[in-house]
Amino acid sequence: MNIHEYQAKEILKSYGVTIQEGIVADTPEKAKDAAKELNASTGTQWFVIKAQIHAGGRGKGIINETGSNGVVLAKSLDDVAPKAKNILGGVLVTHQTGPEGKKVNKVLIAQDVYYPGESEPKEFYLSILLDRGTGQNVIMASTEGGMDIETVAEKTPEKIIKEWIDPKVGLQGFQARKVAFALGLDGEAFKQMVKFIFSLYKAFEGTDASLFEINPVLKTSDNKILAVDAKVNLDDNALYRHKNLAELRDLSEEDPLEVEAGQAGLNYVKLDGNVGCMVNGAGLAMATMDMIKLSGGEPANFLDVGGGANAETVEAGFRIILKDPNVKAILINIFGGIVRCDRVASGVVEAYKKIGTIHVPIIVRLQGTNAEEGARIIEESGLKVTSAILLKDAAEKVKQVLA
């Protein structure tokens, strides 16, 4: 699960991670109030207004309606409301949102932390994530703060520091020191960074996170270490033991069809193609999408109906797929093992009749237990449904309906 920057920073702060302070607001007036409060609590004279969406690249992103960037600086209190107004309610397009962009419902009003002082402010990159190869968490750090880590990895891989954490003993002091030294820090800033890394790792463990990306981490001119941005992904499988975190889910950031599918117990991901599909099992679902592409179509979705491919789940699947106007055909691919093909076939016929007329061709491929019986039920239903048993035949039939 993804959460917003302002939510992520609140969590980090509760674990003792030092952050760029901020207050979230959903109207220009509240943005100004937030700025006043921030001025009182931190003394900041300038304010950073940051659009809260689940995507990166906000600073360079553009609000469709106003042309404003997704992150802007207000150099006075009076400047806050009009600048927030240019962002709130607008659609922000960044290199990560795709051309359709994302609507901005909230802005974070944050303190200015790049103030001048005894030393130059310096930005770093810090992340914690699972390394699947070792089955351990790894801390990644780089002196190239503010830059996309993939670009750093490609151009200057030697600038990425990695430190693996043994799950048996957790993060050790020497590891945090190694990272802080490798970032070129000394004195007070070094001490603060070690503390920062420890608090951050504690937060990672404590929240069952799957990714923390703090980019940039800032060393301020007075040698504080602050999280200026925070990207946090949480392990969905662990949310049952973090009820407070589960509540942070923002459904408005998710595709409404995907949310609806989830409620029906289906695993659905919307794609841009013209052939819808409904499959049992995630691997077979992906393979079916690939086959659609090889047959000359483009998959319109990923849809895993799971173990129970019955009339209700098939009907829910049909309804969700048919809401996508780009869908020109639907391929149902069920490999019946425990679930019998004749039962699935009856479910398909029942669901079809319940929906009424479906205006796109449907290909039903049932294989496994009672496959012949399933095909017979489909053939004899009198519906405009083509059946197939072999995956090859199904691919051929997709080709035919697209031709």
Partner 1 sequence: MSVLVNKNSKIVVQGFTGTEGTFHASQMIEYGSPVVGGVTPGKGGQQHLGLPVFNTVKDAVDSTGADTSIIFVPPAFAADAIMEAADAGIKVIITITEGIPVKDMMQAKPYAKARGAQLIGPNCPGVITPGEAKVGIMPGFIFKKGNIGIVSKSGTLTYEAADQVVKAGLGISTAIGIGGDPIIGTSTKEAVQMLMNDPETEAIVMIGEIGGQYEAEAAHWIREQGNPKPVVGFIAGQTAPKGKRMGHAGAIIGGKDDTAEAKMRIMGECGIHVAKSPADIGETLAKALA
Where does this chain touch partner 1 (CB under 8 A) — which range of 79-87, 236-244, 320-328, 375-383? 236-244
Among 238, 246, 322, 360, binds partner 1 (CB under 8 A): 238
* Token pair listed for 97: 């949102």
- Catalytic residue flag (residue 213): yes
Among 120, 150, 158, 247, binds partner 1 (CB under 8 A): 150
Based on CB atoms, which residue is closest to partner 1, 77 or 391? 391
Active-site residue among 125, 201, 268, 352? 125
- Determine the distance from the C-alpha atom of residue 192 to the mean position of all C-alpha atoms in its chain, rounded to a whole number: 31
Among 267, 308, 324, 373, binds partner 1 (CB under 8 A): 267
Query: Measured between alpha carbons, how far is residue 87 from residues 50, 74, 90, 229, 398 in Å?
Result: 9, 13, 6, 18, 45
Residue 46 in contact with partner 1, rule: CB under 8 A: no
Where does this chain touch partner 1 (CB under 8 A) — which range of 67-75, 205-213, 216-224, 342-350? 205-213
Active-site residue among 5, 144, 163, 213? 213
Count residues binding partner 1 (CB under 8 A).
55
Pairing type for strands 122-131 and 62-63 reads unpaired
> What are the φ/ψ torsions at residue 52 (nearest 5 degrees)?
-105, 100
- Catalytic residue flag (residue 115): no
Give yes or no for a contact between 292 and 298, defined as CB atoms under 8 angstroms apart.
yes
Where does this chain touch partner 1 (CB under 8 A) — which range of 175-183, 229-237, 354-362, 379-387? 229-237
Q: CA 139, CA 172: separation in Å to the nearest integer?
A: 12
Among 20, 44, 220, 367, binds partner 1 (CB under 8 A): 367
Q: What amino acid is encoded at 354 in this protein?
A: K
What residues numbered 289-318 form the site for partner 1, per CB under 8 A?
289-294, 298-299, 302, 304
Residue 186 in contact with partner 1, rule: CB under 8 A: no
Query: Measured between alpha carbons, how far is residue 303 from residues 146, 263, 299, 334, 342 in Å?
Result: 37, 13, 10, 11, 21
Residue 283 in contact with partner 1, rule: CB under 8 A: yes
- The DSSP secondary structure of 148-161, one letter per residue, reads -HHHHHHH-GGGEE
Q: How many CB atoms lie within 10 A of CB 151?
A: 10
Can you point out the beta strands (E) in 222-294? 225-227, 231-234, 267-270, 275-279
Sequence-ordered list of residues with C-beta below 8 angstroms from that of 162, at least 6 positions apart, any chain: 138, 139, 140
Residue 64 in contact with partner 1, rule: CB under 8 A: no
User: Interface residues with partner 1 (CB under 8 A)?
Assistant: 130, 132-133, 135-137, 150, 153, 167-168, 205, 208, 210, 235-238, 240-241, 267, 269, 271, 273, 279-294, 298-299, 302, 304, 335-338, 367-369, 390-392, 394-395
Catalytic residues: 125, 213
